[in-house]
Amino acid sequence: MAERTEPTDTVTGIIELEAESEFDNLMTSEDRVLVDFYADWCGPCQMMEPTMEAISKTVDAPVVKVDTDTFPQIAARFDVSSIPTVIGFDQEVPAGRLIGMQDAEAIRQLVD
């Protein structure tokens, strides 16, 4: 496990992942992270987009969107084989996982 760095400010909102290193940096610098594994072609993933956007404004944790087609190695690290999958992390450790369409309250509880 990488050495944790003290966050200066908690990152919030939706983060569209652009590099695997960005994911790793967020995981080590933030206490809690909500990760949305999705694909552009996934209908249920698209339907959950407004829910994830709303959640990103109400939780004190970054919401990271990981495109499983672009970053299959990240999905594999966490045994993601179905999408949408949302995982809440606490101190870099998966604290909860939801697979398929979910309501906002269930997702929010992953990082509350």
Which positions are catalytic?
A: 42, 45
Query: Measured on CA atoms in the order 33, 77, 17, 82, is the torsion positive or negative?
Result: negative
Q: Which helix (H) or strand (E) holds 73?
A: helix 72-77
CA distance linking residue 87 with residue 65, whole number of Å = 11
Chain-centroid distance of CA 60 in Å reads 13
